[in-house]
Structure 1
Amino acid sequence: MRKHGILNRHLTGALAELGHGHGVLVCDAGMPIPDGPRVVDLAFRAGVPSFAEVLEGLLEELVVEGATAAAEVRDANPAAAGLLAERFPGLVLVPHERLKKLSAGARLVVRTGEARPYANVLLRCGVFF
């Protein structure tokens, strides 16, 4: 058994399969999940686990070279917008409809229980060297 870090075996296994350039969509409970990507659904109840909790845990495990989110997050969810701006200085903002289309190319989708709108980000994996 792992001592720390992500304990969910499905998520840990999915993360181990990621490579440079692969996309990981971290999304709220309401984001439509496209057919194709592997999905690890962590949602338990509304708000549990939160987008922030899951994102922070993933960032401890992943090398991220880029991130894309919906521009609507700025007005609809200032807390998520602030978190994203803080964690990703080069954050790319696109219309939500565009983010949904881009998410179809993700290798992995991690669904949270987040119940605030537009708490979604598409991460692009980097390399550690």
Structure 2
Amino acid sequence: MKKNGILNRHLSGALAELGHGDGVLVCDAGMPIPPGPRVVDLAFRAGVPSFAEVLDGLLAELVVEAATAAREVREANPSAARLLAAHFPGLELVAHDELKTLSAGARLVVRTGEARPYANVLLRCGVFF
């Protein structure tokens, strides 16, 4: 048994399969999930686990070279916008509809229980060397 890091076997295994350039969508409970990507649904109740908790856990285990979010997050969810700006200084902002289109190319979707709007980010995996 793992003693630290991500303990969820489905998520831990999915992360281990990712490679350079693969996309990971971390999304709120309301984001439409496109057909195709592997989905690890962590949502338990509204707000649990939160977008911030899941994102922090993922970033402790992933190398991320780029991130994309919906520009609507700035007005609709300022706390998520601040969180994303703090983690990703080069954050690309696109229209929410474009983010939904881009998410169809993700290899993995991690659904949180977040119940505030636009708490979604598409990560592009990097390499550790």
Match of 1:108 in 2: 108
Match of 2:83 in 1: 83
Q: Aligned partners of 1:87, 1:14: CA distance in 2, in Å?
A: 22
Q: Aligned partners of 1:72, 1:113: CA distance in 2, in Å?
A: 19
TM-aligned CA deviation for residue 3 of structure 1: 0.6
How does the TM-score come out when normalised to structure 1? Answer: 1.00
Q: Aligned partners of 2:4, 2:14: CA distance in 1, in Å?
A: 17
Q: Aligned partners of 2:43, 2:49: CA distance in 1, in Å?
A: 6
TM-aligned CA deviation for residue 127 of structure 1: 0.1
Q: 3-state SS of the aligned residue for 1:67?
A: strand
Matches for 1:1-129 after TM superposition, within 5 Å: 1-129=1-129
Q: Aligned partners of 1:27, 1:82: CA distance in 2, in Å?
A: 16
TM-aligned CA deviation for residue 112 of structure 1: 0.1
TM-aligned CA deviation for residue 11 of structure 1: 0.1
Q: Aligned partners of 1:22, 1:11: CA distance in 2, in Å?
A: 15
Moved over 2 A (4+): none
Q: 3-state SS of the aligned residue for 2:35?
A: coil
TM-aligned CA deviation for residue 96 of structure 1: 0.0
How does the TM-score come out when normalised to structure 2? Answer: 1.00
What percentage of aligned pairs have identical amino acids? Answer: 85
Q: Aligned partners of 2:48, 2:2: CA distance in 1, in Å?
A: 22
TM-aligned CA deviation for residue 105 of structure 1: 0.0
Which segments of 5 or more consecutive residues in structure 1 lack a partner in the other structure?
Answer: none
Count of residue pairs brought into register by the alignment: 129
